[in-house]
Amino acid sequence: MNKQHNNQNMIQEVEHLYTSNQPNSQFLDQLERQLMREALNQSQTTKKQSWFSLNWLFNEGMKTAVSLTILTLIVGAGIWIVGQNSLSDTSLLDGAAIEYLALRKPQAGEMTLEMILLTEEESIYELGENVTAFAVSPDRDYLAYSQALEANNPETEEVFVMQLDTQEVQQITDNPITDSVAEWSWSPNGRYLLFSSYPSDSPRIVKIWDSVTGEIETIEDPYHESSAPIWGFDNNSLLFTQETESGSKQYQLFQYDFETGDQEILLNDVANGYLQWSDDYSKLVVRSGDYSQLLLLQADGSQIVLVDNIPSPPLNQFGTMILWAPDNETMSYEVKTAEDHFVYLLHADSGSQELLIDIRRDFPQFNGTFRVADWSLDGNHLLVVTGDEGYTSLEEHLFSLETGELTPLNSEFIRVQIIR
Partner 1 sequence: MQTLSTWLTNQTTDKPVLHKPTVQVMVRQAQADPTAFAALYRHYVLDVYRYVFSKVGNHMETEDITSQIFMDTLHKLPTYRERGNFPAWLFTIARRRIADFYRQREQLADLDYTYVVDNMPPLLAHVAQTELQSQLADLIHQLPEEKQEWLRLRFAGGLSYKEIGKLVGKSTAAIKMGMNRLLKQLASELEVQA
Q: Which of 213, 302, 365, 392 binds partner 1 (CB under 8 A)?
A: 213
Residue 130 or residue 410: which is nearer to partner 1 going by CB? 130
Per CB under 8 A, does 216 bind partner 1? yes
Let me know: does 144 contact 131? Beta carbons within 8 Å.
Answer: no
Residue 40 or residue 299: which is nearer to partner 1 going by CB? 40
Binding mask 351-390 vs partner 1 (x if CB under 8 A, - otherwise)?
Answer: ----------------------------------------
Residue 177 or residue 265: which is nearer to partner 1 going by CB? 177
The C-alpha atoms of residue 351 and residue 345 are separated, in whole angstroms, by: 10
- For residue 206, the 8-state DSSP code is E
Per CB under 8 A, does 151 bind partner 1? no
Per CB under 8 A, does 20 bind partner 1? yes
Per CB under 8 A, does 1 bind partner 1? yes
Of the candidate spans 21-29, 98-106, 258-266, 394-402, the one that interacts with partner 1 by CB under 8 A turns out to be: 21-29
The C-alpha atoms of residue 146 and residue 171 are separated, in whole angstroms, by: 10
Q: Which of 92, 96, 97, 124 binds partner 1 (CB under 8 A)?
A: 124
The string of DSSP codes covering 320-335 is --EEE-TTSSEEEEEE
Of the candidate spans 24-32, 103-111, 313-321, 350-358, the one that interacts with partner 1 by CB under 8 A turns out to be: 24-32
Report, in Å, the least distance between residue 167 CB and partner 1: 4
Per CB under 8 A, does 10 bind partner 1? yes
Applying CB under 8 A, the site for partner 1 has a residue count of 57
Let me know: does 193 contact 209? Beta carbons within 8 Å.
Answer: yes
Q: Which amino acid is at 67?
A: S
Report, in Å, the least distance between residue 120 CB and partner 1: 14
Report, in Å, the least distance between residue 207 CB and partner 1: 10
Per CB under 8 A, does 402 bind partner 1? no
Per CB under 8 A, does 220 bind partner 1? no
Residue 206 or residue 348: which is nearer to partner 1 going by CB? 206
Q: In what order do the strands lie in the sheet with 294-298?
A: 230-231, 237-243, 251-257, 263-277, 283-288, 294-298, 303-307
Rg (CA), the chain: 25
Q: Which of 89, 120, 168, 259 binds partner 1 (CB under 8 A)?
A: 168
Per CB under 8 A, does 152 bind partner 1? no
Q: Which of 39, 97, 299, 355 binds partner 1 (CB under 8 A)?
A: 39
Report CA-CA distances (Å) from 284 to 147, 230, 296. Answer: 28, 11, 6
Q: Which amino acid is at 112?
A: T
Per CB under 8 A, does 156 bind partner 1? yes
Q: Which of 29, 94, 262, 358 binds partner 1 (CB under 8 A)?
A: 29
H or E stretch including 143? strand 142-148
Per CB under 8 A, does 97 bind partner 1? no
The C-alpha atoms of residue 113 and residue 127 are separated, in whole angstroms, by: 5
User: Residue 235: exposed, middle, or buried by beta-carbon count in 10 A (0-12, 13-18, 19+)?
Assistant: middle
Per CB under 8 A, does 56 bind partner 1? no
Q: How far is CA 303 from the centre of its chain?
A: 28
The string of DSSP codes covering 148-160 is ESSTT-GGGEEEE
Per CB under 8 A, does 317 bind partner 1? no
Per CB under 8 A, does 170 bind partner 1? yes
The half-sphere exposure of 361 on its side-chain side, counting CA atoms within 13 A, is 8
Per CB under 8 A, does 3 bind partner 1? yes
Report, in Å, the least distance between residue 96 CB and partner 1: 20
The string of DSSP codes covering 233-298 is SSTTEEEEEEESSTT---EEEEEEETTT--EEEEEEEEEEEEEEE-TTSSEEEEEETTS--EEEEE
Residue 99 or residue 396: which is nearer to partner 1 going by CB? 99
Identify residues 177-196 at the interface with partner 1 (CB under 8 A).
177
Phi/psi at 43 (5° precision): -65, -25
Per CB under 8 A, does 42 bind partner 1? yes
Q: What is the 3-state secondary structure (H, E, C) of 40-98?
A: HHHHHHHHHCCCCCHHHHHHHHHHHCCCCCEEEEEECCEEEEEECCHHHCCCCCCCCCC
Q: Which of 86, 171, 218, 303 binds partner 1 (CB under 8 A)?
A: 171
Please give the residue ranges that form the binding site for partner 1 (CB under 8 A): 1, 3, 5-7, 9-11, 13-21, 23-29, 31-32, 34-36, 38-40, 42-43, 46, 123-126, 128, 149-150, 156, 166-172, 174, 177, 209, 213-216
